[in-house]
């Protein structure tokens, strides 16, 4: 087993869904196979406008021939392992390239940098993870949340991404870390504003009132990605989890007919009657997840 880099761009010609699968030609098979059972880091090419650089980590479960494309293969991602970075990590910074294994004997960039699938040393892996997943807890939930989320309280010790720890990858499956990261990326995408009410409330300590809600719950195999999240106030989150409100594909807010006080609920919604979307279109909730919520949670 070994770490690797998978290059991906949103407008790729390949059938990629980073949280689920990565498609590549047979010429990359020998490079991808060592990654089975281990972790890969996704990289958005530098030439992509507003490139996020290294932007996520995931574990490869297995590799299979693509049944729909002769000569192509699919690296299947272990369900629940995909984790986006809180901070995109630039390919190159003030200290030079982050992925130092790409340097040749003279200190220049080698041709390996062009390979869409390539091996990654554990030192480079640790360095990129430490930059993409900082261990500060600045955006942890409020300590007065219900007991089911109290494990994320401010007294929680930060994760130690020690430079020499080869087994640090085990931390990446921690539910505490994943909830922490999910909250940060969702609140950032929505500018800490409740998508349902439109309110942006910040307490005296600078902490946002909103919570990060999964559209397709983790316990039902929903992924920890921003497109599967909504920033919701406590009341809106409670109602959403219980199927009393939902969201249409066009972002209209749906209200269940089973609500006992519909007038008060409608008064709570923002004036548009639609969710306040994320700042960037690429972070919008995915129709696939919204459909799952309507079909499996929403009480019509």
| CATH code for the domain in which residue 44 is found | 3.10.590
pLDDT digits (tens, 9 = 90+) for 239-277: 999 999 999 999 999 999 999 999 999 999 999 999 999
Instruction: Using pLDDT thresholds of 50, 70 and 90, give the confidence band for residue 167.
Output: low
| Domain coverage including residue 80 | 3-132
Centroid of chain to Cα 120: 21
Domain assignment of residue 25, yes or no: yes
Q: Say if residue 189 is in the same domain as residue 159.
A: yes
| Beta bridge pairs of residue 60 | 36, 77
Q: Say if residue 16 is in the same domain as residue 105.
A: yes
Domain assignment of residue 141, yes or no: no
Q: Say if residue 201 is in the same domain as residue 246.
A: yes
Q: Say if residue 121 is in the same domain as residue 227.
A: no
Comparing 42-56, 147-161, 191-205, the range with the smallest average pLDDT is 147-161
Domain assignment of residue 137, yes or no: no
- Helix H or strand E segment including 59: strand 54-65
Q: Say if residue 159 is in the same domain as residue 292.
A: yes
pLDDT of 209: 85
pLDDT digits (tens, 9 = 90+) for 275-291: 999 999 989 999 999 99
pTM of the model: 0.82
- Residue from 133, 130, 153 nearest 143 by CA: 153
Q: Say if residue 111 is in the same domain as residue 245.
A: no
Q: Say if residue 172 is in the same domain as residue 275.
A: yes
Q: Say if residue 119 is in the same domain as residue 154.
A: no
Count of the separate structural domains present in the chain: 2
Q: Say if residue 110 is in the same domain as residue 234.
A: no
| Domain endpoint, select from 99, 132, 165 | 132
- Residue from 4, 67, 73, 72 nearest 39 by CA: 4
Is it the case that residue 29 has pLDDT exceeding 60?
A: yes
Domain assignment of residue 90, yes or no: yes
**Based on the number of CB atoms within 10 Å of its own CB, is 294 exposed (0-12), middle (13-18) or buried (19 or more)?**
middle
Whole-angstrom distance, CA of residue 73 vs CA of residue 21: 10
- DSSP assignment letter at 252: B
114: three-class secondary structure by DSSP: helix
- DSSP assignment letter at 153: S
Of 11-15, 83-87, 103-107, 250-254, which has the strongest mean pLDDT? 250-254
Counting runs of H as helices and runs of E as strands, what totals does the chain give?
Answer: 6, 13
Domain assignment of residue 138, yes or no: no
Domain assignment of residue 20, yes or no: yes
Q: Say if residue 154 is in the same domain as residue 263.
A: yes
- Helix H or strand E segment including 288: helix 287-296
- Residue from 250, 253, 257 nearest 198 by CA: 253
Is it the case that residue 134 has pLDDT exceeding 90?
A: no
Q: Say if residue 159 is in the same domain as residue 119.
A: no
């Amino acid at each position: 087993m070994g770490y690797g880099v998978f290059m991906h761009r949103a407008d790729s010609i390949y059938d990629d869904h980073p949280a689920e699968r990565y498609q590549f030609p047979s010429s990359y098979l020998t490079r991808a196979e060592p990654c089975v059972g281990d972790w890969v880091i996704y990289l958005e090419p530098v030439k992509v406008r507003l490139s996020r650089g290294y932007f996520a980590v995931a574990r490869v479960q297995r590799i299979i021939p693509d049944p729909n494309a002769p000569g192509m293969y699919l690296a299947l991602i272990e369900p629940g392992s995909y984790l986006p970075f809180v901070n995109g990590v630039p390919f190159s910074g003030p200290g030079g390239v982050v992925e130092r294994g790409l340097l040749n004997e003279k200190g220049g960039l080698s041709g390996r940098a062009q390979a869409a699938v390539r091996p990654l040393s554990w030192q480079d892996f640790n360095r990129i993870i430490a930059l993409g997943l900082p261990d500060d807890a600045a955006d942890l939930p409020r300590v007065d949340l219900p007991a089911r989320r109290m494990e994320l309280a401010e007294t929680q010790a930060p994760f130690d991404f020690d430079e020499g720890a080869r087994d640090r990858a085990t931390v990446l499956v921690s539910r505490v870390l994943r909830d922490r990261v999910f909250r940060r990326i969702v609140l950032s995408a929505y500018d800490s504003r409740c998508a349902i009410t439109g309110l942006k409330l910040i307490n005296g300590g600078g902490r946002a009132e909103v919570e990060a809600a999964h559209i397709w719950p983790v316990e039902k195999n929903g992924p920890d990605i921003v497109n599967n999240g909504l920033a919701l106030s406590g009341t809106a989150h409670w109602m959403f989890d219980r199927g009393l409100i939902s969201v249409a594909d066009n972002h209209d807010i749906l209200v269940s007919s089973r609500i006992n006080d519909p007038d008060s609920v409608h008064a709570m919604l923002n004036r548009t009657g639609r969710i306040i979307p994320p700042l960037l279109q690429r972070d919008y909730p995915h129709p696939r997840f919204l459909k799952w919520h309507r079909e499996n949670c929403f009480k019509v």
